[in-house]
Amino acid sequence: MRRFTIEEIVRATAAHRVRNDATLAPMRIVTDTRSLEPGDAFLALRGERFDGHDFVAHAFAKGAALAIVDRVVVAMADRPVVEVADTLLAYMALASAARARFDGHVIAITGSSGKTTTKHLLSQLLRARYGKRLHVTSANENNEIGVSKLLLESHDDHDVIVVEMGARKYRDIHTLVEIAQPHFGLLTNVGEAHLEIVGSRERLAETKWGLFSTGASPLLNARDRVSQHRAASLGQLPHWYDAMDEDRDDIVRAPFTALIRDELVVHRELNGRPRRARTELFLPGHHNRVNAAGAAAAAIELGFRLDELAELMPTLTLPEGRYQRHEIPDFITIVYDAYNANASSMRAAIDAFGNENGARHIAVLSSMAELGDESERLHELVGEHLQPTKIDEVLVGGEYAEALERGALRAGFPRERVWHFTDNHAAALWLLERTKSGDVVLLKGSRRYHMEEILEEVLTACGV
């Protein structure tokens, strides 16, 4: 973890006051007293449910050498303290200083859907070569605090940093990119996620496109319409990636394309002939094959050979909560894919689920979140994506259940094959009472609706 002298902290944060200055050894920057060790600098962040300034006394009691604050705290008397205008901005400034010390490669990943999965797949590829020299965003810590924490935890033994970036408001990605200064930027897609917060599709596209605002080499999904439309504005040739079921050499015209086709991984440099290597990929759903192609493209940028990639691709697995298959002996199979949801990921999951083997296909869909004025329309579009020839029964729940139902009816579903559930317990009871051996069930919806409760209740009832 990076360490800073008090002089470096003052300079990086543009501190406006230093109390009880002392000669201190270089310090780690810590924001959680639970992980604080004697000699650390405690930076008091504010969250929705806490204020780090309330823990300054505890930090000093545990041996903190310094506190970084933006308001006066009684516990600071006679203690070394750096006062700044805003502790979050100070934390980000220190992260930028940590990034400036890093000599390796930084890969940033963002997108409306698939970014965590792509990060997970890429990390598996890179760890085979770099091992502990790889540093990756933990879980979904992809905001200003999470990205700053990642960079501050880097050290000289790391060769590659993979940072996931999430957007919760307009131009969020620009801010994160300023901190991380990535060499490569992988954009999975620009869909409908967070429209309510960002404000419009154009503002969402501008926010995601901030990934390239400091000159990162672009890795783009060849199927993403926004990327197709905006690619010419980059000022450098993008490196495209894709996955498909047929051999289409016209897609492989762009430089540095990583293409997953059937059991091949294909790469073509500018003005070069396509190179191919045979491989296997055991990931469900076409959308996850595209995510794997994105991971392969980023690995190629770091010098991976095709034969090296081909050997690693069969070992790839999805992160927890993404299309996880739970088989209940002599009963049903449940596919849990409810870590989160937007319209793009809902449609992708439905497509993958429709190709599952099973006696009957039963889709349990909760609503999506943060879609703003387009919520009704996007839920109807998801409902319309359900195919009566592939899905036998549909259960809909959440705030926009009626919109999902309207879409399903418009797609041709008989009304008696569309069911409403009022809560997760009701959905679990429906499955326990009405499903039969050999059926397959999809659980898909926003994290807000805690669909894991349905899974847990059914598994518990079945003694699994």
User: Is the C-alpha dihedral spanning 94, 97, 103, 109 positive or negative?
Assistant: positive
Portion of the chain with pLDDT greater than 90, in percent: 80
- For range 188-197, the mean pLDDT: 77
pLDDT tens column, 30-78: 999 999 999 999 999 998 889 999 999 999 999 999 999 999 887 677 8
Tens-digit pLDDT profile for residues 403-451:
999 999 999 999 999 999 999 999 999 999 999 999 999 999 999 999 9
User: CA–CA separation, 26 vs 18, rounded Å?
Assistant: 16
Q: Which domains does the chain have, with CATH numbers?
A: 3-85 (3.40.1390.10), 102-315 (3.40.1190.10), 324-461 (3.90.190.20)
For 437, other C-beta atoms within 10 Å of its C-beta total: 10
How far apart, in whole angstroms, are the C-alpha atoms of residue 162 and residue 184? 10
Mean of pLDDT over the chain: 93
**What is the helix (H) or strand (E) element at residue 202, kind and residue range?**
helix 201-209
For 85-124, the pLDDT digits (tens) are 999 999 999 999 999 999 999 999 999 999 999 999 999 9
What is the structure's pLDDT at 255?
A: 64
Which strands form 257-261's sheet, in the order they lie side by side? Answer: 134-136, 160-164, 105-110, 184-187, 217-221, 239-244, 257-261, 264-268, 275-278
Strands (E), 264-321: 264-268, 275-278
- The amino acid sitting at 93 is A
Question: Does position 252 have pLDDT exceeding 50, yes or no?
Answer: no
The pLDDT, as a whole number, for residue 138 is 87
Question: CA 272 to CA 269: how far, in whole Å?
Answer: 5
- pLDDT confidence of residue 411: 96
Distances (CA, A) of 208 to 45, 118, 186, 192, 342: 26, 16, 10, 12, 16
Give the helix/strand (H/E) hosting 119. Answer: helix 115-130
pLDDT at 35: 96
